[in-house]
Amino acid sequence: MINTVSTNDYKLYTKEPWEEFQEENDDDTLEQFVKPYIRRDLGFKELLNEYFNYNASLDNCYPKLFKYLPKENELTFYQIELYSSTKVKSTNIDFNSLVLSIIETAHDIEFEDGVANEFSKKLNMYIKKYGNSFINKLIPIFLNETANDEILSEALRWIGRIDSSDTHEKRLWLLEHCLFSSSPTLRDGATLGLASMNDPSAITFLKEVIKKETIKELLLDMKDVLFDLVKEKDAIYSKKNQKK
Amino acid sequence: MAKKPDATLNNWNVELLRFTGFPSPDFQIKEPNWWYEIVGEQPENRIVQPRKGLFQEVGLFDESELILKVEPFRIDWVFKANQKPEEQDMTTLGEFENGAMQFNNLMTKWFGLKDFPKFQRIAFGAILLHPVKDYHQGYTKLSVYLKSTVAIDTKNSSDFFYQINRPRKSKTNIPNLRINRLTKWSVKKAKLLGIIFNGEQNKTISGEDSFACRLELDINTIPDPDMFFKQKECNEIFYELVNLSFEISKKGDIK
């Protein structure tokens, strides 16, 4: 298959993968090839982004080439989030590095229940600044449990507390998803996160995991949270009926 | 069973079609066999990135490219024209109606599979093109589609871009279901750029400029964390999303 990408202004096709091109050509050649296009701002940056997104993971990606690309203007990032859109949003922001930096911060902290720390503040800041795109990058970490369980559990507690209506649904999804984790520490963090969020939409999934939960203390916590959410649901329902 | 669309379309060609679904939080399938089960043969490429939770399969279906991308929080099917190097013009799947029916048939097969997941939100996306001579002709054509909302000065304008979402209530029997009808209208200029890698003698070859009206559609259900769609609902909703896109491509930006 020919490797092809296109943007609004340009189509690019290559008969060999980009990896081979990079191996065979040194930095000078790459610079000579790429820079004139970027300087003229002909959409080549977007073209390369499309190519990398399609053909390779960002981890393998081509730092040699990326160093020539202009950095995304971070101040404009939030403006382009459309909530009616389901299209994948592409960006130059290196979310992987941001996520790693948050995890790094957590390693030296002794967590105290309910006490804000450098880790929770960073998490709060990035979620509010970058919204759902950032949370999408967090999700695989919880899925693969690639960081320490205690750190992830702490993150889940704070994710439930963040005051951000724009990211509410995505955070709710993540917390509900982590109820099904194989790690009891994560299930505990998710339960506490959902307690803070106080959204009765979580009732269905809490009921489902309660049926399977085998750790007694965790089961009791889940039932307490379920009780509170059902009360909240009844309260909302009563308010609606009163208005009618 | 695939349904026939009920609108006659006005010469739009389709560059890309997309199904996007946001699965329920209890979704656990990691390496599904869906591509094989709906196409009937193995894909050409498979990418698995466990640390990112990404699973992707790519292959040809009826000479066009079909991509399945599975992540923990979204599933995408993309159907798009397979670019041939000798083609200077914008490559498409052909007429919108035919391409959409082909894609709808594929999705209907997928909806019928046993391990079809439950979704909280689904979407139909499309990028449509209508070739024109130049920007002026493109703006003239767009002004017909946008006549009730935007007045375009076709002779003295450039860089025109119009984006709008017009939500509607769903006509399916699903209570409280509302649908976003997000559209983006513009005139696209394309240039085919050939790059020949040959050690020190890399060469670029530029094709001629070509122009087209471009309509990007993103028709999707408005998220509601208490709403879940199983097979039957997805079938009904997807049919409605596709028909809403037909309506827009024929009648333009309407409420």
pLDDT of residue B225: 82
- CA-nearest residue to A133 within chain B is B73
Q: Residue A86: which of B189, B192, B220 has the nearest Cβ?
A: B220
B225 vs A201: CB contact, 8 Å cut-off? yes
B85 vs A13: CB contact, 8 Å cut-off? yes
Q: 3-state DSSP call for residue B58?
A: strand
pLDDT of residue A232: 92
Q: CB–CB of A33/B202 below 8 Å?
A: yes
Angular region, B63: left φ>0, alpha ψ -120 to 50, beta rest = left
Measure the CA–CA gap between B173 and B132, rounded to whole angstroms: 41
| Sign of the four-CA dihedral B47, B51, B52, B53 | positive
pLDDT of residue A216: 96
The residues, any chain, with a CB within 8 Å of residue A234's CB and separated by 6 or more, are: none
Nearest to A49 by CA among A1, A95, A7: A7
CA B157, chain centre distance (Å):
28
ipTM for the predicted complex: 0.84
Kindly indicate the confidence band of residue A59, based on its pLDDT and cuts at 50, 70 and 90: very low
Measure the CA–CA gap between A69 and A92, rounded to whole angstroms: 9
Q: What pairing do the DSSP bridges indicate for beta strands B203-221 and B13-23?
A: unpaired
Kindly indicate the confidence band of residue A7, based on its pLDDT and cuts at 50, 70 and 90: very low
Which own/partner contact pairs does A91-96 have at CB distance under 8 Å and 24+ positions apart?
A91/A133, A92/A45, A92/A49, A93/A130, A93/A133, A94/A58, A95/A130, A95/A133, A95/A134, A95/A137, A96/A58, A96/A59, A96/A137
- The answer for A 177-206 residues in CB contact with B (under 8 A) is 177, 179-180, 199, 201, 205
Kindly indicate the confidence band of residue A231, based on its pLDDT and cuts at 50, 70 and 90: very high
The structure's pTM equals 0.79
pLDDT of residue A76: 30
The residues, any chain, with a CB within 8 Å of residue B216's CB and separated by 6 or more, are: B125, B126, B127, B128, B183, B184
Instruction: Specify the amino acid at residue A150.
Output: E
Residue A102 has pLDDT above 70, yes or no: yes
A16 vs B223: CB contact, 8 Å cut-off? no
- CA-nearest residue to A55 within chain B is B47
- DSSP codes of every residue in B166-194: --EE--SSSTT-EEEEEEEEEEEEEEEEE
- Give, as one character, the DSSP assignment of residue A60: G
The residues, any chain, with a CB within 8 Å of residue B165's CB and separated by 6 or more, are: A82, A84, B180, B181, B182, B183
Whole-number Cα distances in Å, B111 to B98, B104, B180: 20, 10, 22
Nearest to B243 by CA among B2, B5, B4: B5
The residues, any chain, with a CB within 8 Å of residue A226's CB and separated by 6 or more, are: A203, A206, A207, A210
Lowest mean pLDDT among A164-178, A196-210, B44-58, B202-216: B202-216
pLDDT below 50 — which residues of chain B? 1-9
Q: If residue B155 lies in a helix (H) or strand (E), which one and from where to where?
A: none
Residues in chain A: 244
Contacts A205 to B, Cβ<8 Å: 25-26
B182 vs A84: CB contact, 8 Å cut-off? yes
Give, in degrees to the nearest 5, the angle at Cα B188 between B184 and B190. Answer: 145
Contacts B49 to A, Cβ<8 Å: 57
pLDDT of residue B195: 59
Residue A12 has pLDDT above 50, yes or no: no
Q: Measured between CB atoms, does A105 come within 8 Å of chain B?
A: no
Task: Give mean pLDDT, residues A209-225.
Answer: 96
Q: CB–CB of B209/B145 below 8 Å?
A: no
Which of the pair, B190 or A52, is modelled with greater confidence? Answer: B190
Residue A187 has pLDDT above 80, yes or no: yes
Contacts A2 to B, Cβ<8 Å: 83-85
Q: Residue B51: which of A29, A85, A144 has the nearest Cβ?
A: A144
